[in-house]
Amino acid sequence: MKNGILKRRLTHIAGSASAVILLGGMLTSCKDDLLTGMPDWLGSSIYEELESRGNFTQTLKLINDLDEETGSGYAKMLGLTGSKTVFAADDDSWAEFYKNNSWGVKSYDELSLAQKKLLFKSNMINSAYLVELLGNIPAESSTTDPIEGACMRRHSSVDISDSIPIITKDMYPVVNEKRVDKEGKQIDWWSEVRDRDSLMIFMDNSVATMIHFMPKFMQNNRITDDDVEFMTNGGIKTNADAFVNGKVVKEADVTCQNGYIHVTDGVPVPMDNMANVIAGNPNFSMYNRLLDRFSYPYYDLTLSARYGDGDSVFIKRYFNEGNGAQTDNHALDQTRDGKKANEKLPYDPGWNELYRYSASGNTYQHDGAMMLVPTDDAMKSYLDNDGSDLKERYGTAAANGYDALDNAPDNVILPLMQNTMHWSLKLAIPSTFNNIKNTASEDMEVSKSDINYVHWASNGVIYETNKVYVAPEYVSVYYPCIIRGDADLSVMYSTIYNDGLTSNSNSEGFRAYLINMPVKKNPQTGVEIPISERNLYSFIIPTNNALAHYYDPVSYKRTNTDRTLGEVSTACAYVFKVNNKGFVDADAYKVDWNNLDEKGRGYIDLEDKLTSPAPVAETGSSKGSVFNHMKDIINSSLALSLFEYPQKFYQSKAGGPIIVDWSEETDANGEHKVTGLAGSFQYERGYYVPVTEEFNKSREGNGRSYVVEEEPLMSTTLSPYSAITDANRPEFQAFASLLEGCKFISSDDGASHVSMDKALSILNNYHYTIYVPTSSSIEALIAAHKLPISDDRDLISNAVAGLEEYIDELANQVEKDMYDDNNDTIFSVWEQYVAERDAAKAELAFILHEDTVMTEVMENFVSYHIQDNAIYIDGEEHSAAKDNNVYESACLDTATTRYAKIYVDYTPGGQMTLTDNNGGKHHVDPNVNNILTRQYYFNGSSLSNNSCTEIFSSAYAVIHLIDTPMMPFKDGDPKHADNGYYNPATYAKVMDIVNKYYTEPAQEENPGGATPSPVKRHKR
């Protein structure tokens, strides 16, 4: 009864910031601040309590033997004052332990000294804790409170010197001769110790921890009875129990003078870290070999001085990214001699104090990690089925292909390892399995039926799985880059991999994007979504050879005089490569566009390497012109849908077209194969780049990949302005004239970024369709005075100048004529002047207004023929039924502040029909369409030097000829009454004023004669 009273009082005290300190002080001094003297019910010492019970002989023998063998004085310590918590097993539990344990020990006499130390010290804490307080984290200061029910781990009394393993040469990780770097050199992180016959190596140099799940902790983290039963392999049935190192506390809070005894239902064996648990389990041998390839014998100077006795002492560490803390984050990315490990695990599974840093103050006590480790049988089953291409590519006949993962490069293995390693144990309990995400942040769909057994470790938990949870990379369009990233796809792999992992503010996140998985099941019904309805990709991957044939768009205009703007520098091509730092680099070579090959490409002179402009490679912290162009290549090679026969035109992520060439025959599966692919550069030259290998990951992953070896997909050299104003397209000339009369033409973007040639400022960093009405249809509008032309505006401009001159002349003349000989005012002259001046000003205001109206009409007309979103003949279907037929034009309706819409109807194989806001129907010419253009802005202000080295922004536009002009507004719409230019009477009035005040331009000088004066036509 008294014991219960004290417990209730201690529980109350535990709510304060100094609960643990108070408890420790009370127990150390052996007196209760609430009572006077030593209570008789407080019990004897821990040692005496164990002795008096009579059924703890094995535990006492352990303590006594350690005293005798090490002189540790544990018996004396536990028999005197102090502040300890001991987890003790009775003799019945020891008997069960000898029947089955991971060490294979059958009796007490078979225990080694190291095992005795671990068994005792791993079950003792150097402070006194009630069970209910073990789950609390002490206050950090006098101004903060303890955190109740937040602790799942704390340090035991084990010292790292209690077990110093000596491993022999035959225990070192095996060298795999097939594991080589990009230069063909053997990769062996243990090479510096291979000449040693044995090695003194700590598995970790941090203090070993015990894992305990206390009732309050489980309640706070919503760990259910079912959860705890599953996670303890049926050993614990309820979350009302406390368990330590996997054993239930069957009798808690035995109160002694110097601390507490908690009796466990079984011998709590000290927990190894996750790396050691995996290494010690024969079912994990294949996975362990993969894990070991990231391990490294890390020389430790301090440990060598303390324990080496003149020899070197090492720690077995793992190359890893670190826990994210600001300092001392336990990351490891290089060897002692500075050799970098490019592939690193998310964390070090051998670190006892493993935790993920967070700004909220997370420590190792709050959480552990979780690993999903497949058995050897699961690994073999995977290689036989979904991983068969890995087996075929890397496996040997001698091992039935099951050595494929051992032989695969590190970069191939890393995604698998990353996908198995998770940071939080608390977020990976069975009742929250549906929240576990893979490396693409998608649901992993972990099921209890996939887990054979749960292995506890000092730094987390290992779920032994009977299946391989496939890494998203393995079922993504990025997969070919991974498995060939050490060979002919190394440039693409390095670009995607390095950019995806850097913290650079310019990071494109290629890797994350390319492994993003589609939703495969309807979240409401759970029904699988058909492949045809999933959001899948088509990814074109150029090999290193293909990337040696890339024409720099910055230099498209750096050629001969008919393709340039002024004095410009040499055109160049890039040859991309991976440098010795693992980043993508390039060399630039001269291109001769006057010497074309059979495909219309400029001749690349590999004997003329250019030093200016010099390509600038990525360094990991900054990105230069090389990355700028690789980014454009990647974005131009990714379609956001599957290629489906017979559709030819697709939109790339960059906004440009990808054109597909299909085989007419079907294969054994009844499918038409993609035989060739083109960007607008290839398409305008009439050829396709052949596909040499296809990877289909659309069923289990996110799409299909196509490898090309000749050249990457590139963009056209044709700008929208050049295409529209091309004199060889007479059907475009009327529209070109209107375009020239608008304010849409510029040579840069207004922010010192020059264009390749004249640019349409109305186009932004997007993709568009430009519909060009035939010249004859535009001329008919002009003849009906429904559309102005640039000549009319020139006439008005001239007339405005004439009117202003006339008003000035009136003012000058009245100065002379309004006074008589006596200097008296002649009012009739003044009145006539005022009348004529006001009439002229009214005429001036009228034609200025009409000039504004004409400009608005012209610009509305032109901009209405420029539509957001590129739509291609032989592209996808557009209809109201598919809900993809309404698009905004570039024409802003000022009355509604909305962009005027265009309605598109197109069925592949048929004619594309447009409906305008006026209800008019217009048709795309079947013979003049799909003119592919791209408008560039570069990172310099002039093309006359080498200041431009990168693409700053661009816009894509496909141009179609249409039979009749589209009208943005309805005839007679009162909201657009200002457009009086549509009224022939208004036009006649404008022309009448023009005729009155038009001034003939001066004629050219006659040979040998004077230049005549302009002829003034305004009235006097």
Residue 563 has pLDDT above 70, yes or no: no
For position 21, what pLDDT does the model report? 36
1003 pLDDT tier (thresholds 50, 70, 90): low
Q: Encode pLDDT of 178-216 as tens digits.
A: 888 777 888 999 999 999 999 999 888 888 888 888 898
Share of the chain above pLDDT 70, in %: 89
Cβ contacts of residue 762 below 8 Å, gap of 6+?
Answer: 744, 863, 866, 890
Residue found by looking up tokens 């005496």 in the block: 48
Span 754-783, average pLDDT: 93
**In this structure, how many other beta carbons lie within 10 angstroms of the beta carbon of residue 322?**
17
Better pLDDT: 229 or 40? 229
1013 pLDDT tier (thresholds 50, 70, 90): very low
Q: Residues of 695-734 as b/e, b for ≥16 C-beta within 10 angstroms?
A: bebbeebbbbbbbbbbbbbbbbbbbbbbbbbeeebebbbb
Better pLDDT: 591 or 160? 591
Q: Encode pLDDT of 249-278 as tens digits.
A: 999 999 998 899 999 999 988 888 999 999
Round to whole Å and give the CA distance between 375 and 984: 86
- Of the candidate ranges 132-136, 226-230, 370-374, the one whose mean pLDDT is the lowest: 132-136
Q: Encode pLDDT of 639-659 as tens digits.
A: 999 999 999 999 999 999 999
292 pLDDT tier (thresholds 50, 70, 90): very high
Q: By CB neighbour count within 10 A (0-12 exposed, 13-18 middle, 19+ buried), where does 284 fall?
A: buried
Q: By CB neighbour count within 10 A (0-12 exposed, 13-18 middle, 19+ buried), where does 674 fall?
A: buried
Span 428-434, average pLDDT: 93
Round to whole Å and give the CA distance between 617 and 624: 5
Round to whole Å and give the CA distance between 869 and 883: 14
Cβ atoms of residues 163 and 200 within 8 Å = no
**Amino acid symbol at 363:** T
974 pLDDT tier (thresholds 50, 70, 90): low
Element (H, E) at 298: strand 295-299
Residue 719 has pLDDT above 80, yes or no: yes
> Across the chain, what does the average pLDDT equal?
86
For position 261, what pLDDT does the model report? 92
**Amino acid symbol at 101:** N
Residue 977 has pLDDT above 60, yes or no: no
For position 801, what pLDDT does the model report? 87
Round to whole Å and give the CA distance between 632 and 637: 8
Q: Encode pLDDT of 12-37 as tens digits.
A: 333 333 333 333 333 333 333 333 34
Round to whole Å and give the CA distance between 87 and 89: 7
Strand partners, 153: 211
Round to whole Å and give the CA distance between 392 and 481: 17
Residue found by looking up tokens 């995400």 in the block: 437
Round to whole Å and give the CA distance between 627 and 619: 10
For position 945, what pLDDT does the model report? 66
Most confidently predicted of 151-165, 262-276, 555-569, 997-1011: 262-276
Cβ atoms of residues 267 and 89 within 8 Å = yes
For position 820, what pLDDT does the model report? 65
For position 936, what pLDDT does the model report? 95
**In this structure, how many other beta carbons lie within 10 angstroms of the beta carbon of residue 185?**
8
130: tokens are 């009630």
- Of the candidate ranges 413-422, 708-717, 795-804, the one whose mean pLDDT is the lowest: 795-804
781: tokens are 């509008």
Residue 419 has pLDDT above 80, yes or no: yes
In 839-930 the beta strands, taken as DSSP E runs, fall at 866-868, 886-893, 898-905, 913-915, 921-923
For position 962, what pLDDT does the model report? 98
Helix 410-420 vs helix 285-292: crossing angle, to nearest 10: 120
Most confidently predicted of 340-349, 375-384, 853-862: 375-384
Residue 1016 has pLDDT above 50, yes or no: no
Round to whole Å and give the CA distance between 90 and 1014: 121
Most confidently predicted of 831-835, 963-967, 999-1003: 963-967
Element (H, E) at 462: strand 460-465
Cβ atoms of residues 990 and 803 within 8 Å = no
- Which of 501, 187, 473 is CA-nearest to residue 340? 187
Cβ atoms of residues 918 and 970 within 8 Å = yes
Residue 929 has pLDDT above 80, yes or no: yes
Span 315-335, average pLDDT: 88
Round to whole Å and give the CA distance between 928 and 796: 35
For position 1, what pLDDT does the model report? 38
User: Do β-strands 209-213 and 369-374 pair in parallel, antiparallel, or remain unpaired?
Assistant: unpaired
Residue 782 has pLDDT above 90, yes or no: no
For position 930, what pLDDT does the model report? 97
Better pLDDT: 6 or 553? 553
- Which of 681, 663, 682 is CA-nearest to residue 671? 663
Round to whole Å and give the CA distance between 689 and 771: 29
Q: What DSSP assignment string belongs to 123-151?
A: TEESS---HHHHTPBPPSSTTS--BTT--
- Of the candidate ranges 317-331, 366-380, 859-873, 879-893, the one whose mean pLDDT is the lowest: 317-331
Say whether 581 sits in a helix, a strand or coil.
coil
Q: Residues of 928-946 as b/e, b for ≥16 C-beta within 10 angstroms?
A: bbbbbbbbbbbbbebbbeb
Element (H, E) at 635: helix 625-636
Residue 67 has pLDDT above 80, yes or no: yes
Round to whole Å and give the CA distance between 658 and 716: 12
Cβ atoms of residues 673 and 694 within 8 Å = yes
For position 738, what pLDDT does the model report? 92
Span 910-915, average pLDDT: 96
For position 784, what pLDDT does the model report? 80
- Of the candidate ranges 365-369, 756-760, 792-796, the one whose mean pLDDT is the lowest: 792-796
DSSP letter assigned to residue 726: -
| 3-class SS string, 203-241 | CCCCCCEEEEECHHHHHHCCCCHHHHHHHCCCCCCCCCC
Element (H, E) at 154: strand 153-155
What pTM was estimated for this model as a whole? 0.82
Residue 1011 has pLDDT above 70, yes or no: no
- Which of 664, 723, 653 is CA-nearest to residue 935? 723
Say whether 794 sits in a helix, a strand or coil.
helix
Better pLDDT: 946 or 617? 617
% helix, strand, coil for the chain, step of 5? 35, 25, 45
Round to whole Å and give the CA distance between 838 and 834: 6
Measured in residues, the chain has a length of 1020
- Its sign, for the CA torsion 933, 937, 942, 947, is negative
Q: Encode pLDDT of 85-130 as tens digits.
A: 999 999 999 999 999 888 889 999 999 988 898 888 888 888 888 8
Cβ atoms of residues 287 and 379 within 8 Å = yes
Residue 6 has pLDDT above 50, yes or no: no
Strand order, beta sheet including 602-610: 550-551, 572-578, 584-596, 602-610
Round to whole Å and give the CA distance between 801 and 955: 39
Helix 790-817 vs helix 984-997: crossing angle, to nearest 10: 50
Round to whole Å and give the CA distance between 679 and 661: 11
Give the helix ranges, DSSP H, for 280-427.
285-292, 301-307, 376-384, 388-394, 404-407, 410-420
566 pLDDT tier (thresholds 50, 70, 90): very low
Q: Encode pLDDT of 595-618 as tens digits.
A: 889 998 988 888 888 887 778 888
Residue 459 has pLDDT above 70, yes or no: yes
In 510-669 the beta strands, taken as DSSP E runs, fall at 537-542, 550-551, 572-578, 584-596, 602-610, 638-639, 649-651, 657-666
Q: Encode pLDDT of 838-867 as tens digits.
A: 888 898 998 888 888 888 888 999 999 999
Strand partners, 464: 373, 453
Cβ contacts of residue 131 below 8 Å, gap of 6+?
Answer: 214, 242, 249, 252, 253, 262
Better pLDDT: 75 or 793? 75
Q: Residues of 779-792 as b/e, b for ≥16 C-beta within 10 angstroms?
A: ebbbeebbbbbeeb
